Amino acid sequence: MGEVDPAFIQAQEHRPKPEILKAEGIPLIDLSITSSPDTNLNDPRALDGLVEEIGDACKNWGFFQVINHGVPLVKRQNIEKASREFFSQPLEEKSKVRRSEEKVLGYYDTEHTKNVRDWKEVLDLTVQDPTIVPASYKPDDKELTKWFNQWPEYPPKLREICEEYVKELEKLAYKLMELIALSLGLPKDRFLEFFEEQTSFIRLNHYPPCPNPDLALGVGRHKDAIALTILAQDDVGGLEVKRKTDGEWLWVKPTPNAYIINVGDIIQVWSNDTYESVEHRAMVNSERERFSIPYFLSPAHYTDVQPLEELLNEQNPAKYKPYNWGKFFVTRKRSNFKKLHVENIQIQHFKIPESELAEKLDAALSISK
């Protein structure tokens, strides 16, 4: 990528700080009890301690790491190796599966976050191939389309490796969603119906060395629009999380073979702000390239995302208007190919004003008197 083009330069207030604060407080959660033969999963009390840990992590951090998660190490090593092999190719070869407005999956090296270019290159692949989504971001357009993966010729077994890995990540994702449901006082399978025709996808990230890592970011500050992210990062590290208590950016030290989990915007809405999607970003450095592989758990395109009725009452009315996930998703994707001069669509655009919520609460209190 050479010298830092002005398109990569972050505004002064968003540039990485020279001193690194380590995220010592991000919980490290052991999932071994969920697969232990000694655990009676039919006993609702068997997972109480783990469920409490998960709930506290979602509420206080929006992030946590998991170990003893059940994903075979060899499957992870295979996809990490394949990712390195793909990105080691000349640009001409990678560009054979380049993304476009017509083919929205594949290789890309000009992605923008908050309208600033990211110092990275990616390969995007959906879990369901093809994946059904709205054909247009326009609300009145009911037409659907199919997104197909573009599988590169090299490495030759990438498709097989990726599909095997994704099966394991899907198991972990559903296990985590069950624990999150229990932590909210819901039946463990409450969320699973939303993912029967999922729009989940996996991304291979490559962050080349950057000559001016104090000016650019691998990925600018953002929140994940999906339900849940499961991230595998290498030993270089670079993920930074914005601490909820004081807004400080904290560097997440890589834990060998662990996965980093973060709550997405959809869980924030489903939980009616009980859990919050937290801003994060990726740093780069001048010496070492970095690789990471996030898996983004996303519901079916026809899902209307809104606070779950079971979590609402007169004292806790819905804080969001419903929105259609498919339309939201394709609107976000559209910004990859057009530099927008306004903020891209966010869940905040569906937030019910505080004044309206206060009126509802006052009315509820007056009725109860």
The 10s digit of each residue's pLDDT in 147-163 is 999 999 999 999 999 99
Six-digit token string for 171: 């198991």
User: Poorest-confidence range of 19-28, 63-72, 202-211, 336-345?
Assistant: 336-345
Whole-angstrom distance, CA of residue 275 vs CA of residue 262: 11
Higher-scoring residue by pLDDT: 358, 271? 271
Residue 1: which pLDDT band, with cuts at 50, 70 and 90? very low
Q: Which of 341, 352, 358 is nearest to 112 (CA)?
A: 341
Higher-scoring residue by pLDDT: 77, 103? 77
Six-digit token string for 249: 């950016």
pTM for the full model?
A: 0.93
| Helix boundaries (H) for the chain | 48-60, 73-87, 91-94, 158-183, 265-270, 325-334, 354-368
Q: Rounded mean pLDDT of 28-49?
A: 81
Whole-angstrom distance, CA of residue 319 vs CA of residue 305: 12
Whole-angstrom distance, CA of residue 73 vs CA of residue 70: 9
Whole-angstrom distance, CA of residue 276 vs CA of residue 51: 17
Kindly state the greatest CA–CA separation across the chain. 72
Q: Strand ranges (DSSP E) for the chain?
A: 28-30, 63-67, 106-108, 112-113, 116-117, 121-126, 131-134, 144-147, 201-207, 219-222, 228-233, 239-242, 249-251, 259-263, 280-282, 290-297, 304-305, 323-324
Q: Rounded mean pLDDT of 180-187?
A: 96
User: Poorest-confidence range of 14-18, 70-74, 276-280, 355-359?
Assistant: 355-359
**The Cα angle at residue 84 between residues 215 and 31, in degrees rounded to 5:** 90
pLDDT above 90: residue 335: no
Q: Rounded mean pLDDT of 328-349?
A: 72
Whole-angstrom distance, CA of residue 48 vs CA of residue 52: 6
Q: Rounded mean pLDDT of 316-337?
A: 87
Q: How far, rounded to the nearest angstrom, does the alpha carbon of residue 187 sit from its chain's CA centroid? A: 23
Cis? peptide before 134, omega within 30° of 0: no
Residue 44: which pLDDT band, with cuts at 50, 70 and 90? low
The 10s digit of each residue's pLDDT in 226-244 is 999 999 999 999 999 999 8
Q: Rounded mean pLDDT of 46-63?
A: 94
pLDDT above 70: residue 337: no
Residues 128, 31 contacting (CB under 8 angstroms): no
The 10s digit of each residue's pLDDT in 15-26 is 988 777 777 778
User: What's the confidence (pLDDT) of residue 367?
Assistant: 55
Mean model confidence pLDDT for the chain:
91
User: What's the confidence (pLDDT) of residue 84?
Assistant: 98
Higher-scoring residue by pLDDT: 230, 344? 230
Q: Which of 301, 345, 342, 335 is nearest to 101 (CA)?
A: 335
pLDDT above 90: residue 102: no
Q: Which residues are CB-neighbours of 64 under 8 A, at least 6 positions away?
A: 26, 27, 28, 29, 54, 57, 58, 260, 261
**Helix, strand, or coil (residue 104):** coil
Q: Which residues are CB-neighbours of 230 under 8 A, at least 6 positions away?
A: 169, 172, 173, 176, 259, 260, 261, 294, 295, 297
